[in-house]
Structure 1
């Protein structure tokens, strides 16, 4: 990875890319070390060539869709990648599971990757990174202007807790019920340079911040700015990093659809000369807390940060305003956190592990 990106990379609007982090599991559905074999020790299917990577733990693997052009079918691209990954894993005796945190993962018992980048992070960050068994969904949407991308990233912040509340799928961590709907979001916030970012005035301000962080040794490269949203200066996208991992591809597609619609809407408003918001970051953080704590049952501060509105009402407004349906379908169904708790209560942890496994369509 290049240390820094460039404003010259923001050249195209409307492209889409989806990255998903998954758990490699054994025959009993428990996270196990498998990335050495799946990423480095074997040839992946063609669709995964150059789009498969490991994460901090050897039980977490990332797969990326190709760049999805306007007019192409994003769901078909996602399914092709997922099925290829499941088949690749099964051919080597593994399974693939998805959630924000795996309920059977105990970080003290799992192996860290040996990649120098991750070893350097473990040495620098220590405990918060040692326990980071998280897995999420990252959605990239192309933006054709660097200043526009920064403005969109600023303005999309209010919407991120909506997405987090809908996606909340990690009530269990290290073997116990945290009482949270998305414990992943809180565990991940233990790392530096995470959470809800402060607004940047323009791309120059963001670039100055990125450069300063690298030059002072605060981060090794731009990829270690792990905020919930960021202008991706290497790919020329706005990258939303909010949702928990999901076994259901339709939920992933709902968040991708919502993200793309938001970026397109906000991009048009930027071009119309709309002024940006000027609210304290702590207010956005309050909404994030409500989302990760309560999930589908959250009430969030509205866009004026003066009153609260139930998530269901927000979802209806957003779906109608943007002409999308996926987030309404997600809200109308059982949440990931609710489902995990129900399965564990009624059927036990083995059934819960089975329920998180990816299946070929």
Structure 2
């Protein structure tokens, strides 16, 4: 395993997996190769890369110091994507799932790793046409990264509920706010990282798994949060891709403010027993979103997840203020107070318009910054 790299504590990096849709019936459109050819001519921050299937594209920021810097870079990338998509007569949309695409129609993007994964996982590879946001947070050192990872794990339900944007799959309302994560959970190396607070012990675990041949690199772990030693970060992977870059940036501000609270106040020491309620809490957040019940790991107390989110946002508000993330925290607090996430907007739009394709069209308008029309 490679050594844990150096990064500046609390720096951010954000990746967004996005939908390419045609403007005829708003189904997915296999245009990632054409989009990449157009985008490579434009000087931009961060990167634009292909994803598993050819109706997906991923944008990523460079190293950012604040959620407002994340928003600035994502906005530049978004605007360039939209201009290129317009030339191809397609559109770009957020959301964790496309609401009516058929997985068997998707094409694996022609890249060696994607071909290998397709051979290994069969139809699951095409069912992995799902769209998530990943947030990297810089950590002072390797042991601090593991401590950060296990502290963050208590807030996985908060991240899921606030970002949930995948209620529809294969033309049906799944009754989940985040159905996307059900596809992730099908992979054998998904779930939670092993509980260890020592990088040496984590290295021993990694050596055992590579020795068995089960994994070859850290990329083979589809954990909810995983270390990224090459960047000196941990990577949180449970967010659905939001419908707007503004919400994506706000979620990164939440992560950064939580991390600052952890580093500066050392509020609690994570325990293996925290994970006794982990799967239950994660499932409830996927199923019910902001209406979920949350079980507090330390006390076993049951309370509305919305209440715990608001209390958490209030607790970290001073750190958010210091980081310039106060507006991000206010946005998310408002969402929690109203019980309003992107999954709710998608359902309300379908209820009003009675057509999934029109929901996708309005979602694409929201992504480009025009709001719903």
If the length of structure 1 is used for normalisation, what is the TM-score? 0.91
Is residue 135–residue 244 contact of structure 1 (8 Å, CA) maintained in 2?
Answer: yes
1:338 counterpart (335, 339, 344): 344
2:88 counterpart (92, 100, 103): 92
Q: In 1, Cα distance between the equivalents of 2:37 and 2:216?
A: 23
Q: In 2, Cα distance between the equivalents of 1:36 and 1:245?
A: 21
Is residue 141–residue 239 contact of structure 1 (8 Å, CA) maintained in 2?
Answer: yes
Please name the residue that 1:308 is paired with: 302
Deviation of residue 87 (structure 1)?
A: 1.7
Deviation of residue 174 (structure 1)?
A: 1.9
1:47 counterpart (44, 47, 51): 44
Q: In 2, Cα distance between the equivalents of 1:175 and 1:53?
A: 28
1:278-320 per-position Cα deviation (integer Å, ceiling 9, x unaligned) = 3153411110000000011111101325121112211221111
Deviation of residue 144 (structure 1)?
A: 1.5
How has the CA–CA distance of structure 1 residues 27 and 329 changed in structure 2, closer, same or farther, with 3 Å as cutoff? same
Please name the residue that 2:325 is paired with: none
Relative to structure 2, which stretch is displaced further, 88-97 or 180-189?
88-97
Q: Within 5 Å, which residues of 2 pair with 1:1-361? A: 4-7=1-4, 9-28=5-24, 29-40=26-37, 43-47=40-44, 51-69=47-65, 73-270=69-266, 275-279=269-273, 281-323=275-317, 324-333=329-338, 334-347=340-353, 348-357=355-364, 358-360=367-369
Is residue 154–residue 274 contact of structure 2 (8 Å, CA) maintained in 1?
Answer: no
Deviation of residue 269 (structure 1)?
A: 4.3
Gaps spanning 5+ residues in structure 2: where?
318-328
Is residue 45–residue 88 contact of structure 1 (8 Å, CA) maintained in 2?
Answer: no
Deviation of residue 18 (structure 1)?
A: 0.8
1:41-86 per-position Cα deviation (integer Å, ceiling 9, x unaligned) = 76342115x6111111111110001111359733222211221222
Deviation of residue 123 (structure 1)?
A: 1.3
Gaps spanning 5+ residues in structure 1: where?
none
Deviation of residue 109 (structure 1)?
A: 1.2
Is residue 83–residue 360 contact of structure 1 (8 Å, CA) maintained in 2?
Answer: no
Q: In 2, Cα distance between the equivalents of 1:231 and 1:332?
A: 32
Is residue 194–residue 228 contact of structure 1 (8 Å, CA) maintained in 2?
Answer: yes
Q: In 2, Cα distance between the equivalents of 1:228 and 1:199?
A: 13
Q: In 2, Cα distance between the equivalents of 1:325 and 1:30?
A: 34
Q: In 2, Cα distance between the equivalents of 1:319 and 1:113?
A: 40
Q: In 2, Cα distance between the equivalents of 1:205 and 1:302?
A: 27
SS in 1 for 2:285: helix
If the length of structure 2 is used for normalisation, what is the TM-score? 0.89
Is residue 162–residue 289 contact of structure 2 (8 Å, CA) maintained in 1?
Answer: yes
1:74-124 per-position Cα deviation (integer Å, ceiling 9, x unaligned) = 322221122122222223332111101010221111111121101111111
SS in 1 for 2:20: strand
How has the CA–CA distance of structure 1 residues 44 and 150 changed in structure 2, closer, same or farther, with 3 Å as cutoff? farther
Q: In 1, Cα distance between the equivalents of 2:177 and 2:189?
A: 22
Q: In 1, Cα distance between the equivalents of 2:298 and 2:83?
A: 48
SS in 1 for 2:238: coil
Is residue 32–residue 110 contact of structure 1 (8 Å, CA) maintained in 2?
Answer: no
SS in 2 for 1:61: strand
Q: In 2, Cα distance between the equivalents of 1:157 and 1:182?
A: 17
How has the CA–CA distance of structure 1 residues 305 and 294 changed in structure 2, closer, same or farther, with 3 Å as cutoff? farther
SS in 2 for 1:356: helix
RMSD: 2.1
SS in 1 for 2:9: coil
Residues paired across the two proteins, number: 354
